[in-house]
Structure 1
Amino acid sequence: MSVTCPACAAADETVAVRKALLDSDRPLDPATRQLLSMPSEPGGTTGGAIVAFVLGGLFGLLGLHALFFGDGGGSSDVAYQAGYRYGSLIVAAILLGIGLTVHFDHRSRRSDTADEWPRTYEQWQQLHRTWRESWLCRRCRVAFLPAGSVRPEFAASAAIPVAQFLQWTVTIARQDHRPGAPSTTD
């Protein structure tokens, strides 16, 4: 599909935003990459938090096993026996605390960058649909939506500077999400 840029009217430097982010032959600079990246799903958890939760759970199970079935490590030293019985539970509590901290930090950063929208998964899907249809002109460093990309009657958008891309996609998605707006299907 050949799409022309509304700013320079050329089609040779236009590419879908999602493809531009994955293009290893012509990678985008880190600042542009961050501006064009899709916000994470609301309520989603980062990989680091998931790893901390899983490891915390495993250490918790190990600690419960040592607490109920352990012999104290075979030592008569009271401190060693306490460490043997409760050490894994302490490590589990620390890992769960780290996981919760990472999770809440991720959620607060996501809500700061997305202006509190989307709040629900359905709103995020609408935003994702708009983001998926967005195009980038590498020459002009602008983003745009071709005619009919969001829905059949949708007119082509004007060229939007990359710095305003996230706010612009949220605005377009919010317009499509309001009650009475025509729905799009995949």
Structure 2
Amino acid sequence: NSPRKNQPFIKVNCAALNENLLESELFGHVKGSFTGADRDRIGRFEAANTGTLFLDEIGDIPLSTQVKLLRVLEEKEVERVGDHHPFPVDIRIITATNRNLENMIKKGNFREDLFFRINVFPIQCPPLTDRKEDIPLIVENFINRICTKNHKPILGISSEAMETFLEYHWPGNVRELRNAIEYAAVLCTQGIRIPEDI
């Protein structure tokens, strides 16, 4: 029922970019603002205007970029890198991290004011090791997605393979589980069950 539901939904993986690239990705840049900036480029804030910006792994954002992010959230305006003409943005921000931001604040690695700005409606998702009962459903979901995406019928997973999944501690959480399923799906022949020796 959100008025933003039909507006842009833009995702940024903050852990995938270094500090300079992240700033350019988030805020955009003007031509000549740095080596290689051969044209103006809009940032993700501008692309998400009137919609939603999802900042995945916000705990990986450097402190210097956190300051700029906080300014955008407080003032609701963005300046492209190399520009001094802010423009207004109207966006909803959703953030996620696998880090403990409160511990990072204590160590001086995350700004407390930014934390309170983004921590309006927190949803805690326990790690996969704390919710092993979800693993069969998650595995089934990933198998269905892979079958659809790759047009490859996989009849399911053997009970031995499922037992292996349930016993493993999954330090990489759901992403690691997804990768294991994708790996097994590549190795299995069409129309057979994923073998237990994944």
TM-score tier, shorter chain, comes to under 0.3
| Greater fraction strand | 2
The answer to which structure has the higher helix fraction is 1
